[in-house]
């Protein structure tokens, strides 16, 4: 009997899952329908490079439908409501989709309106974002004109897409201004709600030292309450102020709005409450979540989504067969962190293990961990063609295991 698989969201997670499931099931075994509100598939890691002229918008945008294998039904529509009891989704175009399995891959939405004044006076003049294509493109033009003053990169709060991206932007800005010969005239400040520059203590210490070496000021535990564009001030809830001539803000993130109206499906930010290891919705066994849409305690990043997909395909196959879910995701995250001057460092960790020094993906492997290198920078750039030609089509990355590799890492006892 043919099963119906519906996927909401045709970004990284939704596209990978649709393509892998199409290879797993013949059309007479399962129908696969994927829904998204637009036909712009954006290579989101590329948004980081657009403001600095490394990528253009044309380099990172392709039609969503063309990334899907034959036999997948792609519908361009918004999502109106869903009924988890009736196992159906009503789209903005009025059509209703019934499902045996629903995969929520709707990612994160940027909640600009949650910060007072953010999109008020100065918006896209002295206040920018780079997490949207429009924002990154507008910022590229603005950066060309910056000669001096206070440049502030502010992280409002977690969770966000790609938690290292704000750090990367700051490092790249340091490099960009140095290349233009104006770095000495610019005060570069990184502002964060965290008590350090990153969530993982070992990596935070290392990245914090890099900030200091590059003369980047860090303002921590700053809970942004207001952006005063007229006066050029970032104001915290405890009334501290950070002056700016140019502000690059990473706004609050939330899940898709329709999730709010399904009892017990989402958390207060509308991210799907899912099991950390199986990605099955806690209160709805026929619903799974992948990527940024899930509230898993790991980074909202493309590499994480790729590793999740390895596990989720097996779990959906088991669920449709009426079997116990056997796939277990360990929280594996693998991130290249651009540090400027054609260098990057690589961090690899999971739910239990901190980023550690060593080599990747195995002992003696080519990539140094927790260390700046040109090879890591090239690895970051190489991810672009790998994304379009391997990850999205649903191919496995040779030599890159789903679970975090232990071989090659120097654990604390070995570093003494």
Q: Is 174 exposed, middle or buried (0-12, 13-18, 19+ CB in 10 A)?
A: buried
Above 70 in pLDDT, residue 148? yes
- Whether 68 and 55 have beta carbons less than 8 Å apart is answered as no
**pLDDT value of position 377:** 97
The closest alpha carbon to 189, from 220, 161, 162, 163, belongs to: 220
The closest alpha carbon to 93, from 105, 75, 115, belongs to: 75
Q: Could you please report the per-residue DSSP string of 171-204?
A: HHHHHHHHHTT-GGGEEEEEEESSSSSSSSHHHH
- Whether 123 and 115 have beta carbons less than 8 Å apart is answered as no
Distance CA 80, CA 178 (A): 48
pLDDT band at 199 (very low <50, low <70, confident <90, very high): confident
pLDDT band at 207 (very low <50, low <70, confident <90, very high): very high
**pLDDT value of position 412:** 78
Between 312 and 396, residue with greater pLDDT: 312
- The 10s digit of each residue's pLDDT in 105-144 is 999 999 999 999 999 999 999 999 999 999 999 999 999 9
Distance CA 274, CA 104 (A): 11
CA diameter of the chain? 69
Q: Could you please report the per-residue DSSP string of 85-99?
A: TTTEEEETTS-EEE-
Above 60 in pLDDT, residue 30? yes
Distance CA 103, CA 135 (A): 29
pLDDT band at 353 (very low <50, low <70, confident <90, very high): very high
The closest alpha carbon to 97, from 81, 112, 119, belongs to: 81
pLDDT band at 416 (very low <50, low <70, confident <90, very high): very low
Mean pLDDT in residue range 353-359: 93
- The 10s digit of each residue's pLDDT in 43-74 is 999 999 999 999 999 999 999 999 999 999 99
DSSP 8-state symbol, 374: H
**pLDDT value of position 358:** 95
Determine what percent of the chain is predicted with pLDDT higher than 90: 94
**pLDDT value of position 413:** 64
**pLDDT value of position 396:** 85
Terminal Cα-to-Cα distance of the chain (whole angstroms): 59
- Whether 48 and 172 have beta carbons less than 8 Å apart is answered as yes
- Domains annotated for the chain, with CATH where assigned, are 3-108+255-320 (3.50.50.60), 112-251 (3.50.50.60), 336-415 (no CATH)
- Whether 375 and 322 have beta carbons less than 8 Å apart is answered as no
Across the chain, mean pLDDT equals 96
Lowest mean pLDDT among 263-277, 291-305, 389-403: 389-403
Between 200 and 82, residue with greater pLDDT: 82
**pLDDT value of position 414:** 56
Above 90 in pLDDT, residue 202? no
Distance CA 155, CA 190 (A): 8
The closest alpha carbon to 348, from 384, 320, 307, belongs to: 307
Q: Which residues pair with 96 in a beta bridge?
A: 90
**pLDDT value of position 203:** 87
Which element (helix H / strand E) includes 369?
Answer: strand 367-369
**pLDDT value of position 374:** 97
**pLDDT value of position 415:** 54
- Whether 162 and 45 have beta carbons less than 8 Å apart is answered as yes
CB burial of 205-214 (b: ≥16 within 10 Å; e: otherwise) equals ebbbebbeeb
How many CB atoms neighbour CB 307 within 10 A? Answer: 25
């Amino acid at each position: 009997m043919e099963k119906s698989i519906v996927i909401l969201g045709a970004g990284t997670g939704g596209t990978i899952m649709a393509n892998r499931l199409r290879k797993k099931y013949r059309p007479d075994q399962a129908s696969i329908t994927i829904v998204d509100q637009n036909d712009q598939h954006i290579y989101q890691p590329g948004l980081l490079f657009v403001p600095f002229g490394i990528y253009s918008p044309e380099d990172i945008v392709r039609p969503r439908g063309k990334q899907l294998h034959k036999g997948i039904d792609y519908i361009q529509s918004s999502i109106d409501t869903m009924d988890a009891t009736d196992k159906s989704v009503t789209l903005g175009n009025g059509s209703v989709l019934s499902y045996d399995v629903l995969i929520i891959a709707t990612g994160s939405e940027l909640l600009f309106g949650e910060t007072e004044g953010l999109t008020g006076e100065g918006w896209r003049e002295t206040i920018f974002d780079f997490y949207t294509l429009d924002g990154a493109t507008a910022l590229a033009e603005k950066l060309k004109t910056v000669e001096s003053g206070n440049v502030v990169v502010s992280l409002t709060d977690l969770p966000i897409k790609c938690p290292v991206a704000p750090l990367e932007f700051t490092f790249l800005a340091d490099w960009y201004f140095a290349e233009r010969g104006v770095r000495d005239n610019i005060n570069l400040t990184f502002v964060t709600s965290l008590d350090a520059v990153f969530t993982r203590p070992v990596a935070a210490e290392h990245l914090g030292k890099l900030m200091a070496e590059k003369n980047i000021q860090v303002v921590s535990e700053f809970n942004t309450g207001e952006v005063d564009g007229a006066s050029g001030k970032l104001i915290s809830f405890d009334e501290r102020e950070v002056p700016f001539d140019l502000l690059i803000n990473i706004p609050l993130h939330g899940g898709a709005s329709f999730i709010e109206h399904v009892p017990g499906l989402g958390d207060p930010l509308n991210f799907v409450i899912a099991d950390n290891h199986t990605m099955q919705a806690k209160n709805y066994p026929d619903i799974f979540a992948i990527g940024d849409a899930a509230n898993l305690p790991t980074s909202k990043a493309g590499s994480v989504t790729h590793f999740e997909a390895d596990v989720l395909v097996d779990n959906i196959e088991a669920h449709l067969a009426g079997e116990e879910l056997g796939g277990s995701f360990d929280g594996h995250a693998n991130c290249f962190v651009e540090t400027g001057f054609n260098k990057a460092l690589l961090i690899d960790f999971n739910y239990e293990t901190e980023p550690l020094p060593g080599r990747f993906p195995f002992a003696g492997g080519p990539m140094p961990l927790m260390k700046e290198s040109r090879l890591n920078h090239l690895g970051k750039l190489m991810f672009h063609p790998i994304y379009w030609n391997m990850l999205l089509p649903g191919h496995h990355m040779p030599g890159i295991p789903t679970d975090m590799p232990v071989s090659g890492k120097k654990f604390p006892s070995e570093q003494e």
